[in-house]
Chains A and B, each alone.
Chain A
């Protein structure tokens, strides 16, 4: 597992205080609004740290948002 992936998984676990499956839709879980905001902050921080160009508003406007979706966008940009 690479470093970016690790940071994403651990960060989301720490914020949400729950185990989130790789392909699970975060919007469909019991994660509260404040934790979702903090997860978006985390993704923004990771994008900056790894110098990735990410359209976060598009990402979070999708019907589903999983760790897999976030990672793919962080890895490949946009």
Chain B
């Protein structure tokens, strides 16, 4: 990752090249500051200082040292249990590559990951529990790359493995610290899946890097506000589905004085959710954007925005801004001919290069060639930018693969989702489906009993708001919207429901 333009930022190589987990662990392992307050179903079940945490890591190292060797890829299937935090620290300090996997995945998925990675060992709840561990003095400082291997969530089908080197992780931790203005005095909160790249970095690594306390709940706690108040939380990392749970809680709550802002990432946030949070609690939500291929946060709405700019970037455009590029990342919008777009408001594909961009997909040269070329990583996300306060704010309007091509015209499903949500239909989404007359058409999937409006009323309202070509032509009602564990809609899982309309001729 030395002089390849893909990994340069402002023409410079990363200052973190060659650094590993020891950069963090050497210092943190002797700190008596609080590291982790762990909650299960609203109750605090464990607290650990950094030193206590690393003592348990050393205890696990003793337990598994004869089962793994440097360079091994080890699957961790511990979900959001406290054991996951200990397993990650252990594997990094033993020089292994962590392969975090959602334990709820089926056996065929595990078999596929084992086949693909050649992993011979899986750390799950059958291997150890925190109560089994005998604390020891931490002394393992072995560094090895890649540090982690994340398999993408597979919203569009097959999963791809992304290897992450530790220098990239470090660059992104520092970038997050800078753009959000984070300090050792902060207290973080998270309840997101720690086996995904977002929480892996924010909940597990960032507190170690900053020596900051993390309050981690194994799931969304119904006592969310009580925990934030009791623990004097200053920054919480959330996703739009979690924000919707918080907004749905109608009890009287007050945000703690310590709270500075929420971070929202993993899927696009809607203006209605931002507004509700602001009106009720006066809390700012800073939307961020990132991918496994670029470690974590590539775009981030900075914490130093004036009220005026905060309003503008969230409410003026068709979607709220996903932020400005974080330190070490060169982010651009590229047209379909591979030319960088230099005008504001013109849509193209987001492309990224810099210190957090990875080298490619694990054992998948074809996918690597497709995404990593022309000196940039091609994200597959469609966006435009606008200048505010002399900074380039990006607005993500859709995914290249979540585009419907109707009679030769491109329609972005996320734009339709935004209109659907603005009508108060929070449990609905746009779906593209094959149609003999239009090539592809737009339909609407609606969760049963989620609204008092009938189908005709919904379609009428949509027709009054959207261009006729973009307007969903048919509504299919079902039980639930299939989503990944971080709330991304799996639209492919809904397409078949529209098969009966393949031969239907719709009128605009």
CA distance A30 to B43 in the complex (A): 21
Point out the residues of chain A lying under 8 angstroms from B249, CB to CB.
37, 40-41
Complex Cα distance, B223 from A57, in Å, reads 6
B222 touches A60 (CB 8 A): yes
* Chain A residues positioned under 8 Å from B244 (CB to CB): 34
Contacts of A44 in B (CB 8 A): 250-251
Give the interface SS of chain B, mostly helix, strand, loop or mixed: loop
- Per-residue contact bits, chain B 208-227, to A (CB 8 Å; 1 contact, 0 not): 00000000000110110010
Query: Contact mask A36-56 → B, CB, 8 Å, 1/0?
Result: 111011001100000000001
Assembly CA distance A37 to B248 (angstroms): 7
Chain B CB within 8 A of A71 CB? no
B380 interface residue per 8 A CB criterion: no
Q: Are A37 and B43 in contact, CB atoms less than 8 angstroms apart?
A: no
Shortest A40–chain B CB gap in Å is 6
Kindly state the separation between the CA atoms of A63 and B251 in the bound complex, as whole angstroms: 21
B251 neighbours in A (Cβ, 8 Å)? 40-41, 44, 56
Q: Does B245 touch A at the CB level, under 8 Å?
A: yes
Determine if B103 is an interface residue (Cβ-Cβ < 8 Å).
no
Interface positions of B from 238 to 254, Cβ below 8 Å from A: 244-245, 248-251
Q: Which residues of B from 437 to 458 have beta carbons under 8 Å from A?
A: 449
- In this complex, which of B42, B220, B222, B223 has the most chain A Cβ atoms within 10 angstroms of its Cβ? B222
Q: Which residues of chain B in 28-59 are interfacial with respect to chain A, using CB atoms and an 8 Å cutoff?
A: 41-43
A17: chain B residues at CB < 8 Å are 449
Complex interface: chain A residues within 8 A of B248 (CB)? 34, 37-38, 41
CB distance from A8 to the nearest CB of B (A): 17
- B245–A27 CB distance below 8 A: no
* Contact B250 A60, beta carbon cutoff 8 Å: no
Residue among A44, A45, A57 facing the most chain B CB atoms (10 A cut-off): A57
Determine if A2 is an interface residue (Cβ-Cβ < 8 Å).
no
**CB proximity to A under 8 Å, residues B185-235:** 219-220, 222-223, 226
18 of the cross-chain contacts (CB-CB < 8 Å) are A17-B449, A34-B244, A34-B245, A34-B248, A36-B222, A37-B245, A37-B248, A37-B249, A40-B249, A40-B251, A41-B249, A41-B250, A45-B250, A56-B251, A57-B223, A60-B42, A60-B222, A61-B223
Chain A, residue nearest B225 (CB): A57
A33 contacts chain B at the CB level, 8 A cutoff: yes
With an 8 Å Cβ cutoff, the count of chain A residues facing the other chain is 16
- Neighbouring B residues of A38 by C-beta, 8 Å: 248
Give residues 10-43 of A contacting B (CB, 8 Å). 17, 27, 33-34, 36-38, 40-41
* Closest-CB distance, B104 to chain A (whole angstroms): 14
CA distance A37 to B58 in the complex (A): 39
Assess whether B245 is in contact with A33, with CB atoms less than 8 Å apart. yes
Closest Cβ neighbor of A35 among chain B residues: B248
Assembly CA distance A66 to B42 (angstroms): 16
* Complex contacts, A36 vs chain B, CB 8 Å: 222
> Per-residue 0/1 for B55-96: is the Cβ within 8 Å of any A Cβ (1 yes, 0 no)?
000000000000000000000000000000000000000000
- For the complex, give the distance between the alpha carbons of A63 and B45 in Å: 12
Cα A46 to Cα B186 in complex, Å, equals: 38
Known contacts A40-B251, A44-B250, A60 near B245 by CB under 8 Å:
no
In the complex the two chains form, what is the Cα distance from A61 to B221 in whole Å?
9
Chain A residue contacts of B220, Cβ below 8 A: 33
Closest 3 A/B residue pairs (Cβ): A61-B42, A60-B222, A41-B250
Task: From the candidates A27, A33, A45, A60, name the one contacting B223 in the complex (CB within 8 A).
Answer: A60
CB-defined contacts of B41 to chain A, threshold 8 Å: 27, 61, 63
Name the residue on B nearest A63 (C-beta). B41
CA distance A37 to B241 in the complex (A): 13
Contact B42 A57 (CB under 8 A): yes
CA distance in complex: A3, B208 (Å): 53
**A33 CA / B222 CA spacing, docked (Å):** 9
A57 touches B226 (CB 8 A): yes
Asked if residues B245 and A61 are in contact (CB atoms below 8 Å), the reply is no
Nearest-neighbour CB distance to chain A for B189, whole angstroms, equals: 16
Report chain A residues within 8 Å CB of B42: 57, 60-61
In the complex, what's the smallest C-beta–C-beta distance from B508 to chain A, in angstroms? Answer: 35
For A27, the chain B residues whose CB sits under 8 A away are: 41
B residues in contact with A60, CB < 8 Å: 42, 222-223
CA of A41 to CA of B343 in the docked complex: distance in angstroms? 48
B448-491 interface bits toward A, Cβ cutoff 8 Å, 1 = contact, 0 = none: 01000000000000000000000000000000000000000000
**Separation of A45 and B249 alpha carbons in the complex (Å):** 12
* Docked pose: A44 CA to B253 CA in angstroms: 12
Shortest distance between the CB of B444 and any CB in chain A (Å): 20
- List 9 additional contacts besides A40-B249, A41-B249; criterion CB under 8 Å: A33-B220, A36-B222, A37-B245, A37-B248, A37-B249, A40-B251, A41-B248, A44-B251, A45-B250
> In the bound complex, what is the Cα–Cα distance between A40 and B251 (angstroms)?
8
How far, in Å, is B229 (CB) from chain A's closest CB?
Answer: 10
CB of B276, distance to nearest CB on chain A (Å) = 14
**CA A7 to CA B43, docked complex, whole Å:** 28
* Set of chain A residues within 8 Å of B250, measured between Cβ atoms: 41, 44-45
